[in-house]
Chains A and B, each alone.
Chain A
Amino acid sequence: NAGVTQTPKFRILKIGQSMTLQCTQDMNHNYMYWYRQDPGMGLKLIYYSVGAGITDKGEVPNGYNVSRSTTEDFPLRLELAAPSQTSVYFCASSYLRDSYNEQFFGPGTRLTVL
């Protein structure tokens, strides 16, 4: 199993540009999450999904959009990039057979908005 994969690893955007961060998992997990990690800070939840076709906002959803058309994929869309969105983005997944299953994380995408 590859686990959780994310592309790209790095990206530099200009203010106002848009991009999609890709996330794929091959563990047949029903839950998927997007987090951002700012320097010296913990992780903040952006959006999450409990299954294909179902998404919900997390703690910091403004400026982002998500979709979940398949169990495997959970892309994160940035519209009109702003410097405040400079961060490292992590995708994660978990299997909700039980409510306390741990989350598995991808390697991250480092995004800089200039």
Chain B
Amino acid sequence: AQSVAQPEDQVNVAEGNPLTVKCTYSVSGNPYLFWYVQYPNRGLQFLLKYITGDNLVKGSYGFEAEFNKSQTSFHLKKPSALVSDSALYFCAVRDSKAAGNKLTFGGGTRVLVKP
């Protein structure tokens, strides 16, 4: 079975400071990992994904994520947060052994960037 956890319900950060949103996962095969962002009253937007290769993945809007196999983590990062980054962030995982391209989503982390 595949599962994902986002241990923080909310992250508060001052504008210009680094932003980190945590995600850990559990799979039986190899993980395919995704980050999505949801702005108020909108659908989810894809940010980035890890499939294989470099552990540091770069995505949209200046976001990046670091895959750590030994810690089974895939934390989302941004070096300098903007007020406009305030949103709900979801981590998702798919086990390479799972059929149907089904993703399992974490509970989400609300990010609040203060001016």
Contact = CB atoms under 8 A, between A and B. Distances in A.
B46 A40 contact: no
B102 A100 contact: no
A109 to B, nearest CB: 10
A56 B107 CA distance: 23
B5 to A, nearest CB: 10
A99 interface: yes
A13 B68 CA distance: 46
Interface string A74-114: 00000000000000001010101001111111111000000
B100 A48 contact: yes
B84 interface: no
Contact of B43 (A41, A48, A90): A90
A107 B94 contact: no
A58 B100 CA distance: 10
B43 A94 contact: no
Interface majority SS (helix, strand, loop, mixed), chain B: loop
A41 B107 contact: yes
Interface residues of A, number: 26
Nearest to B43: A105
A54 B4 CA distance: 28
A50 B99 CA distance: 11
Interface in A55-79: 56, 58
Contacts of A105: 36, 43-45
Interface in B77-115: 90, 94, 96, 100-103, 105-108
B101 A94 contact: yes
A-B complex: 5 closest residue pairs judged by Cβ atoms: A105-B43, A42-B105, A100-B32, A105-B44, A102-B46
Interface of B: 9, 32, 34, 36, 41-46, 49, 51, 90, 94, 96, 100-103, 105-108
